[in-house]
Amino acid sequence: HIKVGILEVQGAFQEHKVALMRANQCLQTTIKLEVMEVRHPDHLSPDMDGLIIPGGESTTISLFLKRNNMEEPLRNWIQTKGHVVWGTCAGMILLSKCTENQKDGGQPTKNSPMPIELFSFQLGMLDTVVSRNFFGRQVQSFEAQVTIKAPLLIPSNTQTGTSDSKCHGVFIRAPAVLKTTSSEIQVLAVLERPEQKDSVIVAVQQGDVIATAFHPELTDDLRWHSYFLKMIEKAKEQA
Ligand code: GLN
């Protein structure tokens, strides 16, 4: 029996739930999966095994958490051994230690009388520096092939002998990881940009925490949700 919570402030709660259920079916385990909404400190129960922090707007989500006295309970829940957390998009920003705003891509804060950022926070569970809206205002949303770096996420097709190291990435005003600041960070996926001649980090893992800049819940590819469920099983075995 696995219990997964999904933070329900904004973003794709339902899509994540459906993808989790389908992934669990595909894994052909007999494990019962229970998915629940997390909107209140009491929802962060110690016997919940995993948590997804979906996309949305990271400042808004952090302000919601603060207003509902969820910041400390959430930190404590994440830091409890055996608990696994996955942040997508805004969730990645929240989980990161540090943010760097791009000059022309950041949220408009210049003219606000009260910089709302003063009241928002990041959970700091990943040793990463992220850039919010990395891809700028012009390209708010786009879809592209992402290159997967983690072997566990690349199932090989035994019939054809090929392995699929690409996945479809849906990016919506997405962040990117500019820097990793510890060797504990494992890069799970990058976005190769031939025009810019670079490769941008778009998925990372540090221990029981993973983050993706894109939205696997908006595609039919269940690998990321399966990976998350496998992480939970492993963490449960070890705890
Ligand atoms: N750019 C958003 C932020 O700063 C994240 C966008 C998303 O989650 N789709 O929070």
Place of tokens 């603060």: 66
Range 168-181 average pLDDT: 95
Is residue 35 within 8 Å of 17, Cβ to Cβ? yes
pLDDT on residue 106 = 41
Three-class secondary structure of residue 64 per DSSP: helix
Q: Which atom of ligand 1 is nearest to the CA of 57?
A: 10
Is residue 142 within 8 Å of 171, Cβ to Cβ? yes
Q: Which atom of ligand 1 is nearest to the CA of 60?
A: 10
Confirm whether residue 132 is marked as ligand binding.
yes
pLDDT on residue 159 = 57
Is residue 226 within 8 Å of 4, Cβ to Cβ? no
- Helical pair 13-26 and 223-238, crossing angle rounded to 10 deg: 70
Confirm whether residue 57 is marked as ligand binding.
yes
Question: pLDDT tens digits for 54-65?
Answer: 999 999 999 999
Task: List, in order, residues 6 or more apart from 120 with CB less than 8 Å away.
Answer: 58, 59, 62, 63, 66
Which contiguous run of DSSP H or E holds residue 142? Answer: strand 141-148
The CA 142 to ligand 1 mean position distance, Å, reads 13
Radius of gyration of the chain (CA): 17
Residues with catalytic annotation?
89, 215, 217
Asked if residue 62 has its Cβ within 6 Å of ligand 1, the reply is: no
**The model's pTM:** 0.91
The interface pTM score, or ipTM, of the predicted complex is: 0.90
pLDDT on residue 163 = 65
Cross-strand bridge partners of residue 146: 167
Alpha-carbon span 56 to 172, nearest angstrom = 9
Question: pLDDT tens digits for 23-39?
Answer: 999 887 778 999 999 99
